[in-house]
Amino acid sequence: MHIVTGGAGFVGSNLARDLIARGYDDVVIVDDLSDGHKFVNFSDLAIADYLDKDEFLTRMEDPGFVAGLKAIFHNGACSTTTEWDGRYMMENNYGYSQVLLHHCLDHRVPYIYASSAAVYGASTDFSEAPENEKPLNVYGYSKLQFDRYVRRVALDADSQVVGLRYFNVYGPREQHKGSMASVAFHFNNQVRDDGEVRLFEGTSGYGDGDQLRDFVYVDDICAVNLWFLDNPKVSGVFNAGTGRAQTFNDVANAVIAWHGSGEIRYIPFPEHLEGAYQSYTQADLTALRGAGCDVRFRPVEDGVREYLDVING
């Protein structure tokens, strides 16, 4: 079995799609469907089985079940960066990840999990070094603490353990995320509904709409996951982004270009985001490329066009 936790979510459902496209007929999605709207993310996928998160944890206590595992892609987490219930966040993002990690170590099952560029927070250097890890919210801290745990107990393990620090991922199957969906998703809706894209005015020394992020298309993130599946001797914590920061204006202009109409309007920067907002991210890919991963990452102009072709086509 190839397990995808968070398989009803954004990255997880796309990863399940790509595993099935490879010909795997043993893909099992694990999630919590308390929000039943997420079923649409995998209703078109010929998965082998679906397991509730709690049922999955129970099954992991069964040696017979674990013996059938080929790999676990762990994408299940609370990804709401504005959530400040630290106990809830640590239980979902840290404790759950620890439990799965130790099952995988005990049974030598490859474990490829989603970390986040939110671990860098206030940093302006995005290489995978402890001195650069300065999270601005409890979400980022929950991801960082698990990376630290992995570094302490697992990087010399006999089986593969890989953490992927996703940067700003966008693409199909993210509609359920609401306010946490990508700016490409929101900009598309704004142009379609109102004929305009609304960007933040300048802040922290950046001009209007010129804040910079490393925007990475979800298909490329899936390709990185699958590269590690194909290279089970490689372990570590790696950045997963394009390595090229682009502005929010770039994303807006790509959306407007696809629609063939629309304009940009700049709105005041929200007070509640002051001090808790990353105005610049850019993945340092030195470690990823040094490990041998040669996945090509799309620039915003290509990724947004492909994305809108899917959701608007």
Q: 59-106 pLDDT, tens per residue?
A: 999 999 999 999 999 999 877 777 778 888 899 899 999 999 999 999
pLDDT recorded at residue 276: 66
Give the integer Cα–Cα distance in Å for 92 and 229: 24
In-domain check, residue 188 = no
Per-residue model confidence as pLDDT tens digits over 234-246: 999 999 999 999 9
Work out the pLDDT band at 162, boundaries 50, 70, 90.
very high
Report the number of distinct structural domains present in the chain. 1
User: Higher model confidence: residue 87 or residue 196?
Assistant: 196
CA atoms within 13 A on the CB side of 211: 19
pLDDT recorded at residue 82: 72
Catalytic residue list: 139, 177
In-domain check, residue 232 = yes
Beta strand segments in the chain, E: 2-5, 27-31, 49-52, 71-74, 111-116, 161-166, 168-170, 196-200, 212-213, 215-217, 236-240, 246-247, 263-267
In-domain check, residue 63 = yes
What mean pLDDT is predicted for residues 217-226?
Answer: 98
The C-alpha angle 67, 68, 71, rounded to 5 degrees, equals: 100
The CATH number assigned to the domain holding 75 equals: 3.40.50.720
In-domain check, residue 195 = no
In-domain check, residue 310 = no
In-domain check, residue 60 = yes
User: Higher model confidence: residue 277 or residue 40?
Assistant: 40
pLDDT recorded at residue 85: 82
Mean pLDDT score of the chain: 95
Residue 272: other Cβ atoms inside 10 A: 8
Please give the residue range of the domain that contains residue 13: 2-167+217-241
Report yes or no: 204 and 66 within 8 Å, Cβ to Cβ: no
Give the integer Cα–Cα distance in Å for 181 and 266: 20
In-domain check, residue 262 = no
Residue whose C-alpha is closest to residue 192's, from 248, 266, 259:
259
Give me the percent of the chain exceeding a pLDDT of 90: 86
In-domain check, residue 304 = no
Burial of 110 (0-12, 13-18, 19+ CB in 10 A): buried
